[in-house]
Structure 1
Amino acid sequence: MIALDATDRALIRALTEDATRSAGALGRALGLSQPACWRRIRRLEEAGVFEGRRLDLDLQALGFGVTVFLGIKLATKGRVSLEDFERAVTAIPEVQTVEHVLGMYDYRLRVVARDIPDFERVLRRRIMTLPGVGNVEANVLLSEERRPGPI
């Protein structure tokens, strides 16, 4: 755990909005010199506050018009079946996230597809054939608003 001051929090918010901004531009926006801003960024990186940098893709522009969240309950429990399932599901390119959760389901998946027939194909041929899959519940994403978080 790292102690964050108001400037650190402002820097984190600015980077979550646009991680491509230079240390100089960020420093000007926050009232810091470029070297002081860069030192803060490095300190936050070294403390593990940032888990890499990512590029947000426009899935619609790439032809993926459907996002579905799947709740998956495994039919069998045990260390081997969890590992087998996780290894197999992470190999499916349409599966964007795999979350091992507590509750009604064992896993929550975020799956993208070109359209509903394409999703059905992924579901039938790839997901339903995974080791240990029991019950599956699908929720189609209608809209999404992303927020930077509590910082």
Structure 2
Amino acid sequence: MDDLDKIDRALLAALQTDGRMPNAKLAETVGLSETPCARRLKRLENDGFIERYRAVLSRRALGLGVFAFVYVRFAVHDKTLANRFEREVQAIPRILSCHNVAGTADYVMQVVARDLDDYGTFMRDQVRTLPGVTSIESALSLREVKSPGALPLL
């Protein structure tokens, strides 16, 4: 982060707002000409500050009305079992994120489903059968107050 100057931070902030911004507009936004802007952008990509570009889709428009936080616990803490669990989780698209955490759970996942019936079936047939899982607790989101947004450029 110390390698970023004011212009780099402005570039990153602008791209977090609109990842499809054309280079000419991006250059204008940060006060550069197009060539130096493109060079800086390429450096930020190469240095790993920008991991990838993607579209943010609407869960509701896609018919995914249920959003849940799922707390997964293991009875046995075995590295091989945890590795298998993590590999299998990677392959399940409706698990949006999965974090290995400290606290009362071993993992916290964000999961989407069409409705409660779909969610129940998914939990029974897929999540409960994952390697190592002995206990699951769900917290259903009633409404999103703040969505994942731009990272702070401290």
Range into which the TM-score falls when normalised by the shorter chain? over 0.9
Give the whole-Å Cα distance in 2 for the aligned partners of 1:39 and 1:90: 34
The structural deviation recorded for 1:79 is 1.1
d(CA) in 2 for partners of 1:93 and 1:4?
Answer: 34
Shift of 1:91: 2.3
User: Structure 2-normalised TM-score?
Assistant: 0.92
Identify the residue that residue 148 of structure 1 maps to in structure 2. Answer: 150
Structure 1 residue 2: deviation in Å? 5.4
For residues 108-144 of structure 1, what are the alpha-carbon distances to aligned partners after superposition, in whole Å with 9 as ceiling and x for unaligned?
1111000111111101111011111112111112214
Is the 1:2–1:47 Cα contact (8 Å) retained in structure 2?
Answer: no
Which residue is 2:35 aligned to?
35
1:45 alignment partner in structure 2: 45
Partner of 1:110: 110
RMSD: 1.3
Q: How many residues align?
A: 151
1:58-90 Cα distance to aligned partner (Å, 9 max, x none)? 111111111101011112211111012112222
Q: Give the Cα–Cα distance (whole angstroms) in 1 for the partners of residues 5 and 152 of structure 2.
A: 14
Distance 1:84 1:17 in 2: 36
**Residue range with higher mean Cα deviation, 54-63 or 85-94:** 85-94
Structure 2: runs of 5 or more not aligned = none
C-alpha separation in 1, matches of 2:80 and 2:134: 15
CA–CA distance in structure 2, aligned partners of residues 144 and 8 of structure 1: 30
2:144 aligned partner, one-letter code: S
- Runs of 4+ residues deviating >3 angstroms: none
Query: CA offsets per residue over residues 37-69 of structure 1, 9 Å max, x none?
Result: 111101111111011112111111111111101
SS at match of 1:52: coil
Alignment partners' CA distance in 2, 1:28 and 1:18:
14
Structure 1 runs not aligned, ≥5 long: none
TM superposition shift of 1:93 = 2.5
Query: How many Å separate the matches in 1 of 2:104 and 2:62?
Result: 33
Query: Helix, strand or coil for the counterpart of 1:119?
Result: helix
Distance in 2 (alpha carbons) for counterparts of 1:43 and 1:83: 34
